[in-house]
Structure 1
Amino acid sequence: MSQSKNIIITGTSRGIGFELVHLFANQGHNVLALSRNAQPVSNLHFDNITSFSFDLCEEEDYKKVEQFIQNEWKHVDVLINNAGLLLNKPFSETTFKDFTKVYETNVFGVSEMTRVVIPFMKNNSHVVTVSSMGGIQGSMKFPGLAAYSSSKGAVITLSELLAEEYKDTGPQFNVLALGAVQTEMLKEAFPDYQAPTTAKEMAEYIHEFSLKGNKYYNGKVLQVSNSTP
């Protein structure tokens, strides 16, 4: 195996994030697994997985990440912004607080985490942000997802801007806009919907892409969906 890399993943307590942690750890990479609930990951005895409780909406928590990188790793090869908050609610019932909460996790959390980690990244490091097909202009839209899908559109534009701003020094920034994946988050929002892709299958794709995709892409959004539109 080539040299082991230092990888940070957010939203690791379940679903795609949980699967990603183990794909990387099994390959011998060092993983910092961040989620509000650190329990599920820390139960697994890998000495190359570090996990602590982390809330994207708490400014203090970012200092913990910064200190960890400084003390333990010195540099970061891959950041996967995977944490997401999905709200399914008719727009007329959506409050200012609802919108704020979704944007705090899905947009501000991505920008702040990225800003904190960039100083530790090398010119060929890779920031991968997990978005959604709902955030793609012209894609099929679903009622009830005004806050969620618009927030997922915001991080696509954000990543394009960062790729431009850091094009001379690195790292590279790319977005994966996922189609429906069978996760607990999806089930909570759409109990009757059966997605065509499992969390593990999607994690395998994201895992590969985050290690190699920045050789071929920068400032791009890839639509990872096996259905049209």
Structure 2
Amino acid sequence: MSNKKVILITGASSGMGKLSAQDLIKAGHTVYAVARSVDKMKDLEALGGHIMKMDVTDEADIEAAVKKVIEEQGRIDVLWNNAGYGLYGPVEDLSMEKVQQQFEVNVYGVARLTKKVLPYMRERREGLIINTSSMGRKIYTPLGAWYHASKHAIEGFSDCLRMEVKEFDIKVVVLEPGMINTGFNATVAQNFSYESKNGPYKRLVNGYIKQMENNPTPGSKPEVISRTVLKIINARNPRTRYLVGRGGKLLVGIRRIFGDKFFDMMMMAAMR
């Protein structure tokens, strides 16, 4: 791939996606930033980026976005599947409708867009796909079963895809953010199962709510993600995984060294 790359980024209206899009534009790349809210990306357009509305659960949106990039640039060098959110609440309480939506965005959206982009990368016999997972693939928290399950799915999907497309010189990389200061926690709060406060899991649920409200854990600045994405894009042979951000390596290390039962106790103690 040439030094100047055509990059398609989902979830670029806020957080690490938006900041990284800004830095990639400043670095001279041709960036197509997509999200459901175009208004929140006007500043990216002012910097010289291309912005488009795209809901990753909408096949027509995906088709139109990919078609536009190909018509204007003739190629897509880098696809960063970054859109996603966290659904938290007891497994028993959360409706399957909410669960389905979690997977529609976090997993099926990644699959839909990847399938649309792959033929163009395969034809040119080069490309890079970055899939945003989470340290939540290697650790876990109470009430996060569906979110963590979606990230496990992304990792399995990425590993299999990496082997399938290797012969076409397409690279697949998994980005595993730890705690990052973005809008993720606000989205978790927005989608949290507050109706469970008086249900059978109320002790755990109320502990989790208290933890969210009174003990916000500071994360790394989103610049750590931007720097990592730039590093991945510039690497001749990037690693298959990048675990970055506050708490990631520490928590993964604690689980690996002390085992699941100790990690269970540690997580449950944090909810008291």
Question: Shared fold (TM-score greater than 0.5)?
Answer: yes
> In structure 1, which of residues 110, 124, 127 is the aligned counterpart of residue 126 of structure 2?
124
- Structure number with the higher helix fraction is 2
How many equivalent residue pairs?
222
The AA in structure 2 aligned to 1:221 is R
Secondary structure of the equivalent of 2:250? coil
SS of the equivalent of 2:251 reads: coil
Q: What RMSD in Å do the two structures reach over aligned CA positions? A: 1.8
The amino acid across from 1:126 in the alignment is L
More displaced stretch, 34-43 vs 189-198: 189-198
Q: Which of 242, 248, 254 is the matching residue for 1:222?
A: 242
**Secondary structure in 1 matching 2:125:** strand
Counterpart residue number, 2:222? 199
List per-residue Cα deviations over 1:121-154 (Å, max 9, x = no partner): 2433210101011112xx3x10111111110110
Structural mapping, 1:71-220, within 5 Å:
71-121=71-121, 122-136=124-138, 139=139, 141-189=140-188, 190-191=212-213, 192-212=215-235, 215-217=237-239, 220=240
Unaligned 5+ runs, structure 1: none
Shift of 1:47: 6.3
Inter-partner Cα distance in structure 2 for 1:9 and 1:195: 26
Shift of 1:202: 2.1
Aligned counterpart, 2:34: 34
Give, in whole Å, the separation in 2 of the partners of 1:22 and 1:47: 7
Query: In the alignment, residue 14 of structure 1 is paired with which amino acid?
Result: S
SS at match of 2:7: strand
Share of identical aligned residues, percent? 25
Name the CA distance, whole Å, in 2 between partners of 1:211 and 1:8.
Answer: 16
Normalising by structure 1, we get a TM-score of 0.90
Per-residue deviation, residues 165-187 of structure 1 (Å, max 9, x unmatched): 11111311110112111111224
- Whether the aligned pair in 2 keeps the contact of 1:182 and 1:199 (CA below 8 Å) is yes
Runs of 4+ aligned structure 1 residues displaced above 4 Å come to none
1:12-31 to 2 correspondence within 5 Å?
A: 12-31=12-31
SS in 2 for 1:87: coil
The Cα of 1:69 is off from its aligned counterpart by 2.2
Aligned to 1:57: 57
The one-letter code matched in structure 2 to 1:195 is: P
Aligned 8 A contact 1:81 1:127 in 2: yes
Alpha-carbon spacing, 1:207–1:216, altered in 2? closer, same or farther (3 Å): closer
Amino acid at match of 2:178: G
The TM-score, its normalising length taken from structure 2, stands at: 0.76
Q: CA deviation at 1:110?
A: 0.5
CA pair 106-188 structure 1, distance change in 2 beyond 3 A = closer
Contact 2:52 2:65 in 1 (8 A): no
The letter of the residue matching 1:215 is N
Q: Which moved more, 1:49-58 or 1:116-125?
A: 116-125
Aligned amino acid, residue 81 of structure 2: N
Q: CA deviation at 1:203?
A: 2.0
Residues of 2 paired with 1:188 and 1:3: CA distance?
A: 35
Query: What corresponds to 1:68 in structure 2?
Result: 68
**In 2, distance between residues paired with 1:45 and 1:180?**
28
Q: State the Cα deviation string for residues 51-79 of structure 1 (Å, max 9, x = none).
A: 11110011111111222122101111111
Summarize deviations over 1:100-135 as a string: whole Å, max 9, x none. 001000000111111111122243321010101111
Any conservation in 2 of the 1:38–1:52 contact (CA below 8 Å)? yes
Preserved contact between residue 11 and residue 83 of structure 2 (Cα < 8 Å): yes
C-alpha change, 1:112 and 1:3, in structure 2 (3 Å) is same
